[in-house]
Amino acid sequence: MMPARMMPKRRPDHQPQRTCAVCRTVRTKREMQRVVRLADGTTMLDASGRMPGRGTYVCADPACQANPGRDRAIARALGIEVTLATA
């Protein structure tokens, strides 16, 4: 019996890229915070990045977090109204 052939990794240094909903900069997924809209219409931060529902990404940069247009950008991306208390 012949040994199984090992397939090389396609892209060993691949890092998923995401775009910030507020400042529109592209960063690696690990540098971003995911905000998710759940089935009942509520929003919350998704620390694991795997919660079901429609999601968008926001930079962890303090300048992006304090941006006055942050709520509007998240609401546009998620298709609902968002307040600072929920996101």
- Residue-wise DSSP of the chain: -PPPPPPPPS-TT---EEEBTTT--EEEGGGEEEEEE-TTS-EEEESSS--SSEEEEEE--HHHHT-TTHHHHHHHHHTS---TTT-
pTM for the predicted model, two decimal places: 0.77
| Residue 81 pLDDT greater than 90, yes or no | no
Q: What is the total count of domains within the chain?
A: 1
Q: Is residue 50 part of a domain?
A: yes
Average pLDDT rounded to a whole number, residues 1-25: 81
Kindly provide the b/e burial profile for residues 48-60, where b requires at least 16 CB atoms within 10 angstroms of the residue's own CB. Answer: eeeeebebbbbbe
- Supply the pLDDT for residue 24: 96
Q: pLDDT (tens digit, 9 = 90+) per residue, 28-75? A: 999 999 999 999 988 999 999 999 999 999 999 999 999 999 999 999
Question: Residue 52 is part of which domain span?
Answer: 17-78
Check residue 82 and give its pLDDT: 61
Q: Is residue 57 part of a domain?
A: yes
Q: What is the mean pLDDT of residues 69-85?
A: 82
In a domain? residue 10: no
The answer to whether position 87 is within a domain reads no
Instruction: Report if residue 8 sits inside a domain.
Output: no
Residue 84 has pLDDT above 60, yes or no: no
Q: Is residue 5 part of a domain?
A: no
CA 58 to chain centre: 6
What is the CATH number for 49? Answer: 3.30.1230.10
Q: How many CA atoms lie within 13 A of 39 on its CB side?
A: 2
- Using CA atoms in the order 70, 29, 35, 73, what is the torsion angle rounded to 10 degrees? 30
Is 83 domain-assigned? no
Q: Which residue has the higher pLDDT, 84 or 7?
A: 7
Task: Flag whether 85 is in a domain.
Answer: no
